[in-house]
Each structure stands twice: as C-alpha cells, then as structure tokens.
Amino acid sequence: FRRTYFMDKFCVHQGDPDLKRRGVASFAAFIGKSQRMLLLWSPQYFTRLWCTLEVAALVRASNGINGQIEGALPLDFFPLQLASVSCMAWLLQFIAYLAIDIYRMFNPSDVAAASVTIFLVILASMILMRSLTAYARARIALADQLQNFSIQEAQCARLEDRAKVQERVLKWFENLDTCNQHIREKVKDQVLAVLGPSQHYPTRMILPVMLINIFDEADYISSGHHVDQGANGWFSSMCWCCFVGTAVPVCY
C-alpha cells in the first residue's frame, strides 16, 4: 500500500520564477486530485499569502457544477497548539501520578511526603490549566481570523508573489471578495464544527492516560490498600482525582 503526498514547500520551486509560476498555477489541480488536505494550523496561518492560496485552491477544487460547494470539504484541520497542550497534559499527568505513587510506597504517614505530593499535584494542575487557557485563546483567535478572512490582507515576503497569487485566485473566482466569502462561510463553519467550542479539549487526546490511572487506582482499591492506609490512602486518591478533575470539564 503506497501513498503519495504533496507538500507545497518542497513541491513548488522557490528559486526559478517560471517553475514557481507553473507550480502555483497547478495548486488547484494537485489539491483536486488529493483525497484529503491536512491543514496544520498556527495563529499565523491565515495571515500568510501562500497559505491562503492553499485554502482557496481547496475551495475551488471542491466547487460543484453550479459553482457551489457540495458536501463537506476534504479537509483535516489540526491546530499545532493542540499537540503542544496534549504533550504537556501527558507529561504533567505522569509527574503527578509518579508523585502520588512515591508518596504511597515510601511513607504515606509522613506529613512532609503528603505536603510534597499536594504541591506537585497543584503545580501540575496549574501548568496544565495555563496551557489549556492559551489553547482556548488561540481558538478564539482562529474564529476571528475565519470570520474576517481577507486574502487581500494576507502577508508575503515578495511583492511579485502577491500579484501571482491574486492572478491565480481571480481565475478560480469572480473576484477576491467571492473567494473571501466562500472561506468565511464554508471553511469557517466546517472547522469550528469539528473543533467545537473554544473551551473544548478532545477527549481522545487525554483519555488513554486517564484510563491507565483509573485502572491503577482500581488495583489499589481491590487490593485493600485504602483500607490498610486508612485516611491517608483515601487522601492520596483524592489528590489524584483533583488533578484529573482539572481536565475533565474541558474534555467532552
């Protein structure tokens, strides 16, 4: 089984003006022949002229016979910041989980050990919530970018590139405003529907780690650990639940 990928940065010549022009002219054809388009979004994406050309090409390739987009766009949209938040969540869950297990194994009756455990859990929770807040702000910025999308305001390093891009877009659409309107409506609605509200964090990104912790906690309960340790055993479990609880409200 073999797949072929088109990557704009490597497949469009950056030095030869003629090859570059021909590559730009073929954007819609490449995307039209592709099964899916993977868009790795960062807050700067829709401010870059070449990136907006890709989205315009996707819309153009998806136009039906009557010039209207039929069905959903073949677009997989993934915010890069979501990957950073996910890695942070996994790392912090591991740290908090490790701290609680160390507390359980060595000296669960030691007040100092309990204090260190509480501190690590609270610190991990605060860092995680900070990352989630940053992601939520980026999501709000994304909605604003799509709502006010304008290919005329996109930035580029070379002035001659703007003329080439706009010339190509005008061959796909009646005018630049028509292109903007398509992206503001179809792309915005589809992307925001997939990502959900700005406070939403996909459950699938954190559920595997949560399941590991849940199963481990079930082992402690079934082994009678909490009964042997008394209040301290239940207290350590409550610390773990508090940490997981910081993520649950935004995972649905």
Over residues 64-122, the pLDDT tens digits come to 544 555 678 888 888 888 888 878 777 777 777 777 677 667 665 666 666 776 777 77
CA-CA distances (angstroms) from residue 34 to 28, 117, 204?
10, 51, 27
> Alpha helices, DSSP H only, in 12-158?
17-25, 27-32, 49-61, 80-106, 111-147
How many C-alpha atoms does 57 have within 13 Å on its Cβ side?
A: 25
Pairing of strands 75-79, 37-41: parallel
Burial 52-72 (b: 16+ CB within 10 A, else e): bbbbbbbbbbbbeeeeebeee
Predicted confidence at residue 252, as pLDDT, reads 42
Most confident stretch, 66-75, 133-142, 226-235: 133-142
Least trusted range by pLDDT, from 130-139, 183-192, 210-219: 210-219
Tokens of 27: 């954007």
Residue 142 clears pLDDT 60, i.e. is over it: yes
Task: Tell me how far apart the 2 most distant CA atoms of the chain are, in Å.
Answer: 77
Among 242, 246, 230, 249, which residue's Cα sits nearest to residue 100?
A: 242
φ and ψ at 202, to 5 degrees?
A: -55, 130
Is residue 53 within 8 Å of 59, Cβ to Cβ? no
Higher pLDDT, 184 or 246: 184
Helices (H) and strands (E) in the chain, counts: 12, 2
Which pLDDT band, with edges at 50, 70 and 90, does 177 fall under? very high
